[in-house]
Structure 1
Amino acid sequence: MLVLTRKVGEGLVIGEDIEIVIVETRGDSVRIGISAPRSVGVWRKELWDQIREENLRAAAQSPSAPLEDLFPKKEE
Structure 2
Amino acid sequence: MKKLKTKFLLPVMAFLLAITAAFASQAKPDVVDTLVPGYIFVNGVCEPARSCNLEDGPTCTYSSRPVFAKTSPTMCPIPLHFPSK
Query: Could you say whether these structures have the same fold, taking a TM-score greater than 0.5 normalized by the shorter chain as the test?
Result: no
TM-score, L = length of structure 2: 0.27
TM-score, L = length of structure 1: 0.29
In terms of Rg, which structure is larger?
Answer: 2
